[in-house]
Structure 1
């Protein structure tokens, strides 16, 4: 189709990295690509923190669930939902900000962070770099907030490991396209029919990469995780930051 689409469709998460620095101008291009993306009301409620300091990356690797590639890769980006900037605008104008006190604010900020993250992944991979998103940044949010010096009305939503790939990991299959694209309305039957098909595909994939003994299929994996709130500290920490979910 074209190089951009080919890059996006060839995405895979990289967890092994070369011991090679990523030039700052490339990181700037990645972050500028994220900044250029659309956002709600042009509020620009996303900030990106670039973490290169090795000791800080080692501590963050521990906090996100002992994911060692956070420390081993040369750069770790943290995407922050940021209503502090718009709060300051309200202080300037005398118009009190309240959006951060409602679930709508959380939703708007989350969508904007997700768009910025996606753009960063594409930008990095187009430059020959590898990435892996880290949702575990929310595992111990209060410690992360302290390490990164985050002010009120902000929250660390997701991290992104960036570096030069040591190898090209396997490309993980996705759910059948017919259950992902819906025409005119949600196709319940297509989704229901896709589950067994995708479980078989994932079972084959896991056997190919030697992980069949640890994981069985998509249904088992996701339901095992989603039977609990796996980052239970989020609600308390996000409320402490002044962000409400009422």
Structure 2
């Protein structure tokens, strides 16, 4: 019991308001808090994820939304150490590909579904650009479900888009057939680091009402550049003098992965 005798009325009023605010406050949604706490983990403990748990993560992934129930994805669980070493090198020497408990490659897969439709009597049309979009989106949605499920179990992960540095060799290592291509990899394991959450663009920059209004984008991006500049300084002990806009420059001043168009065409994607 709190005794308020002898306390100034204004203090009592403030204290009562504080108690009301505490008890009326909406409880934190643990799922939203988990999503907002995501970090890329690149250092892992030497501890294996039980295979049954890994399978449960993939089952959770299968529950993601999928266009017309096509489920246009496949996952290659890369277990062979030599194959993981090769993929690590192709991805730019990312050590965690080898060191993580598990490494998954998420593939856009139109082979299984088109063949199923064919067996059902369809005169199948292959190679449509929309099929590329559907399969890529399906794979990404599925992977994000796996990621959230993994983090809910105390695991860490890092997406590896670097496998597209040489997707043809990755496809050869994984023996991927036509109409299947590797979209990205994912290193999974028990975290051995605790990095800060990287800031994101202000909500008002990406959430637009009724139409695309970019009248304040320049101002908002400038503010975000200041935020990211401080983030890089803090994360590196003052050794990285950069910001969001500067980090984007290499993406738009070079022809990034120009081999992808020819590779996808050879895979049977995006030619019509």
TM-score bracket for the superposition, by shorter chain length: over 0.9
More deviation, 21-30/226-235: 226-235
Partner of 1:174: 200
Aligned length: 245
Comparing 156-165 with 85-94, which one deviates more in the overlay? 85-94
**Where does residue 97 of structure 2 map in the other structure?**
70
Query: How many Å apart are 1:147 and its aligned residue?
Result: 0.9
Q: Which residue of 2 aligns with 1:14?
A: 41
In structure 1, the residue matched to 2:140 is 114
Q: Which moved more, 1:50-59 or 1:210-219?
A: 210-219
Q: How does 1:1-246 map to 2 (within 5 A)?
A: 1-98=28-125, 100-210=126-236, 213-214=239-240, 216-246=242-272
Q: In 2, are the aligned partners of 1:178 and 1:190 still within 8 Å (CA)?
A: no
The Cα offsets for residues 30-78 of structure 1, whole Å up to 9 and x where unpaired, read as: 1111111111111110111112222221111011111111111121111
SS at match of 2:216: helix
Question: In the aligned structure 2, how far is the partner of 1:211 from the partner of 1:243?
Answer: 45
Larger radius of gyration: 2
| Structure 1 ranges of 4+ moved more than 3 A | 211-215
How big is each residue's C-alpha offset from its partner over 1:189-232, in whole Å with a ceiling of 9 and x where there is no partner?
23232110111010000000117645511111112222223222
TM-score of the superposition, structure 1-length normalised?
Answer: 0.94
Name the SS of the counterpart of 2:162 in structure 1.
helix
For residues 180 and 244 of structure 1, what CA distance do their matches in structure 2 show? Answer: 29
TM-superposed deviation, 1:80 = 0.4
**Higher mean C-alpha displacement, 193-202 vs 220-229:** 220-229
Kindly state the Cα deviation for residue 186 of structure 1 after the two structures are TM-superposed.
2.0
Unaligned stretches of 5+ in structure 2? Answer: 1-27
What TM-score comes out, normalization by structure 2 length?
A: 0.86
Distance 1:76 1:215 in 2: 33
